[in-house]
Structure 1
Amino acid sequence: MSGIHPVRVLRAKPLWIANGVITGVLALLFAVFYVGANIDPAGHVRKLPVGLVNADEGAAVGGERVNLGARITESIKKSTAGGDTIDWQVMGEKEMREKLGQGKLYGALVVPADFTSSVTALTGATTTGTPDRPTLTVLTNQSAGGLGSGLARTATTQAAENASLQVGKELTAQTGARQEKLPAAARVLLADPAAVTVEDGHPLDARSGLGMTAFYYALTLVVVGMLSANVISGQVDHALGYTHNDMGPLRLHRPLIRATRVQTLAISSTLMAGLSLLMGSLVMVGAVGVMGMDAPHLPLLWLFSVCAIAVAGIGALTLLAVFGTPGMLVVTLVFIGMAVPTSGATTPVEALPGFFRFLAEFEPLRQITGGIRSILYYDAQGDAGLTRGWVMMAVGLLVAVLFGFGVLGWYDRKGLHRIPAETAPEKAATPA
């Protein structure tokens, strides 16, 4: 024994420097990832997909066929021709409904079938009649994310109002002196002929968290996999006799069972894969059975949940095995720090700065969120994110296996064992 009081270690500068650097970098990175990704989503919006539907059938005016809906849609596209904030996608109403139901649109603007006939009726209103104002409909899509739907709603509503004013100027100029014969109410409406209403384009069930249950469910799967990896890694090390296991005031220790790093990761990964069946089941029981979350396709949701936990857990085990003690910090950054801001659930990917959009292409939480969102909100359609979720989980698992076993195999070949042979206690051991 050295006879030095334990408190004196606080005088050691390396202890302060090492921990200060690690915790300081961690604090800085979390601030950059969390705040930086969400500080100005409106300013970073690029190519936010919004549908533009002209269902107007037109009308005969003065012997000519007129379609004011086409003018509206053309005016909207021209007004944003110089920018790339909104990606106006002109399509039919059926296609628009399908894309809303796949989460591929954050909203839509619909010009109704009777738009031209309703507008031109204003110019022929009687002095006693009350003119009916035609309506442009803005459709939102909360299932694609509340913030993204809100950004689309704001841009679409503003575009519809500006287009209405533009059409009003054209109609006013065409009417000319005939305006004097119109009632005052008709003249006012003629200057701004279209009313704008907002409707939910893809309604969700009441217990869907306003489109956020998919994100929180996916986050639960990732966190459960990540934390379970930390637990399993420690318990396997204890079972092999490499570490002590403190249980309150008790310290438990097992005889050493020599295992290569590759063998240790194989044992941990097998345990994670098996226990994922239990964890995935209990996550679904807690969310659906206990809390009452709306969830169709329960067998598919269970299977996806189990696989997501297994992939996240094995990925975390790989990082813990390769990086050792700093591995938990790397795991936290990969699965939480960089993942939450790039998941596309709180802030749409189209509203993220470029670096975060790059991360979103492979960050696990975004892929898992897309798959869960498809199962919960979009009838488990492959094009709605489910196919991408399965493919990216398979790719992630393959990368984790190749990286983990490849690096650890190299460690073993180089003789970089966890306990060098000359210092290991020579004690026969059998597994408990």
Structure 2
Amino acid sequence: MNTVSPYSILRDKRLWMVIGVPVGALAFLFAVLYVGANVDPGDHLHKLPIGLVNADEGTIAGGKQVNLGADITSSIQASAAGNDKFEWKLMTSDELHDQLGQGKLYGALVVPRDFSASAIALTSSVPTAYPVRPQLQVLTNASAGSMGSSIARTATTAAAEIASRNLGDQLSRTAGSTALPDASQVTLADPILVKVADGHPLPANSGLGLTAFYYALALVVCGMLAANVINGQVDHALGYAHTDLGPVRSHRPRIDATRVQALAINTVTMGAMSVLIGTLVLAGAVAVMGMDASHLPLLWLFSVCTIAATGAGALALLAVFGTPGMLAAAVVFVAMAVPTAGATTPLQALPDVYRFLAEFEPLRQVNGAIRAILYYDAQGDAGLTRGWSMLAAGLSAALVFGFGTTALYDRNGLDRVPPPSA
């Protein structure tokens, strides 16, 4: 009779090492990746794209054609020449509309068509009770990311305030000794009125531009967790592992299967279950919680494919690395993915290593495609084309890695260890 107490394993150093090392490393990695991405986004800011439009038609002043809007945009570009935190992109109104509608800009500063005429009118000696102040329009774009839009708004507002002071000095010099009405003299101290507007309005139930990220995160996490469940249940069905349901433990007779065959069964099961999981995620988000969504058939199809690809990747890691494969999946699909998704913190405000990871991390690609479907009318240039291509590349890489490595295991006689006898 075995008289060894089961509690004696608590004195086994190997047990503590096997548990403590991977769990501790994972905890440390999560903290470093999550906090490191957001601890100082302003310091890491690099070329955040902001639109700059001069629609000013100009006016005649002193017998000469003047365009004060061109002076402002040129001044902004000149002052930003030595500052690589922002990338001021001079463009037309149509180009601005297109790029805001594709999430390629975080904000914009627009000089309206009557800017020069309104500014020069302030130097008129004709009394005016309420002088019409020239305006600059600051456009935000929460659909591209709330933090990025906020940073862009701060930058554009600051640029508008500097432009207002400079224009006031310029108009005061232009007026010279002209006797201006009191109202105009007061206005010249800060002549420009800054108006803030949403450059790409979002539907009401869009989470201020974050529903795409949380929906994408749900797809990736569901795919990863489903892979873990499928892997365990297929092992149970093949007799390579037992399963517990409450106090009941069950075990089936073993069916010999190669590693390749087991992975094939897992992958086929994952593909079939992706249809169910993708449908339920869509139903829960849209039908139950009321998330605003357009292009529902496309959203459903991309959801199913995302879950299938993510699950295939997780299953490949489990097949190759065994139990540690789930930790590897957590690192790839969650730990490194969330900080590099470009949803909360813009990619331009991340450290270089995060921007590198964002080039291939699954969640960033999925988030971009979902955002294109939900916010940008499913335009390919808004991230949908990249999402599809990266999804296909990720699925291909997972299948090659998983089946290639398990085939190598099989050829070298690395059979799966049968369960111990009862």
Alignment match of 1:357 (pick from 355, 358, 362): 355
Q: Does the CA contact (< 8 Å) of 2:319 and 2:325 recur in 1?
A: yes
Q: How does 1:126-165 map to 2 (within 5 A)?
A: 126-165=126-165
Aligned to 1:290: 288
Runs of 4+ in 1 over 4 A off after TM superposition: none
Contact 2:141 2:200 survives alignment (8 Å): yes
User: Secondary structure of the equivalent of 2:74?
Assistant: helix
Is 16-25 or 301-310 further displaced after alignment? 16-25
Aligned to 1:78: 78
- Give 1:368 shift: 0.5
Contact kept? 1:72, 1:164, Cα under 8 Å: no
Alignment check: 8 A CA contact 1:71 1:167 kept:
no
**Is 2:123–2:174's contact at 8 Å kept on the other side of the alignment?**
no
Q: Decide whether the 8 Å contact of 1:374 with 1:381 is kept in 2.
A: yes
Per the alignment, residue 121 of structure 2 pairs with 121
2:226 aligned partner: 228
Q: Which runs of 5+ in 1 are unaligned?
A: 426-432
Q: Within 2, Cα distance between the matches of 1:128 and 1:333?
A: 66
SS at match of 2:307: helix
After superposition, the C-alpha distances for 1:213-268 in whole angstroms (9 at most, x for unaligned) are 10111011001100000000000100110000111111111111111111111110
Task: Compute the displacement of 1:125 (Å).
Answer: 4.5
Once residues 125 and 292 of structure 1 are traced to their aligned partners in structure 2, the CA distance between those partners, rounded to angstroms, is: 58
Distance (Å, rounded) in 2 between the aligned partners of 1:208 and 1:334: 27
**Corresponding residue SS for 1:343:** coil
**SS in structure 2 at match of 1:123:** coil
Count of equivalent residues? 422
Q: Which residue of 2 aligns with 1:393?
A: 391
How many Å apart are 1:424 and its aligned residue? 8.1
Selected match of 1:277 from 264, 275, 278: 275
Conserved 8 A contact 1:145-1:348: yes
**CA–CA distance in 2 between the matches of 1:251 and 1:357?**
47
Which amino acid in structure 2 is aligned with residue 20 of structure 1? Answer: G
| Cα shift readout 1:288-330 (whole Å, capped 9, x = no counterpart) | 1111111110110110000000000100100111111111110
State the identity as a percent: 63
Residue equivalent to 2:13: 13
Q: Using structure 1 for the length normalisation, give the TM-score.
A: 0.95
Seen in structure 2, the aligned counterparts of structure 1 residues 59 and 417 have a Cα distance that, compared at 3 Å, is same
TM-score normalised by L of structure 2? 0.97
CA distance in 2, matches of 1:127, 1:167: 21
Letter in 2 for 1:49: P
Residue number in structure 2 paired with 1:96 = 96
C-alpha offsets along residues 14-69 of structure 1, whole Å, 9 cap, x if unaligned? 22233222222111100111100011112211111110000000001111100000
Question: Structure 2: any 5+ residue segments left out of the alignment?
Answer: none
Residues 272, 313 of structure 1: 8 Å contact kept:
yes
Task: Give the distance between the partners of 2:15 and 2:345, measured in 1 at CA.
Answer: 39
| Counterpart code for 1:245 | T
Match of 1:216 among 211, 214, 221: 214
**1:69 counterpart residue number:** 69
Measure, in 2, the Cα distance between the counterparts of 1:173 and 1:207.
50
